[in-house]
Amino acid sequence: MINRGIARKGKKLFFCLKLKFILYYIISFIFLLFLLYYISIFGVIYKNTQYHLLKDTLISFAISFVYPFVIYLLPGIFRIPSLSNPKNKRKCLYNFSKILQIF
Do residues 26 and 58 share a domain?
no
52 and 35 in a common domain: no
Check whether residue 40 and residue 52 sit in a common domain: no
User: Taking 80 as the threshold, does the pLDDT of residue 24 lie above it?
Assistant: yes
Residues 33 and 68 in one domain: no
pLDDT for 63: 92
**CB-side neighbour CA atoms (13 Å) of 22:** 6
Where is mean pLDDT largest: 14-28, 29-43, 67-81, 87-101?
14-28
28/71: higher pLDDT: 28
pLDDT (0 to 100) of residue 2: 61
Q: Are residues 40 and 66 in the same domain?
A: no
The verdict on 37 and 74 lying in the same domain is no
Percentage, residues of the chain above pLDDT 90: 31
User: What span, in angstroms and rounded, lies between the C-alpha atoms of 79 and 21?
Assistant: 35
| Contact status, residue 97 vs residue 82, Cβ threshold 8 Å | yes
Indicate if 1 and 23 belong to the same structural domain.
yes
Domain count, the chain: 2
Q: Residues 53, 102: one domain?
A: yes
Question: Are residues 17 and 55 located together in one domain of the fold?
Answer: no
Q: What is the distance of C-alpha 84 from the center of its chain?
A: 29
Domain of residue 7, residue span: 1-45
| Of 83 and 30, the one with more pLDDT | 30
In eight-state DSSP terms, residue 88 is: -
pTM of the model: 0.53
Same domain, 36 and 53: no
User: What's the pLDDT score for residue 88?
Assistant: 67
User: 83 and 39, same structural domain?
Assistant: no
Higher pLDDT, 27 or 40: 27
Tell me how far CA of residue 11 lies from CA of 4, 5, 8, 56, in angstroms.
Answer: 10, 10, 5, 46
Residue 96 burial by CB count (10 A; 0-12/13-18/19+): exposed, middle or buried?
middle
Residues 40 and 88 in one domain: no
What pLDDT, on the 0 to 100 scale, is given for residue 68?
86
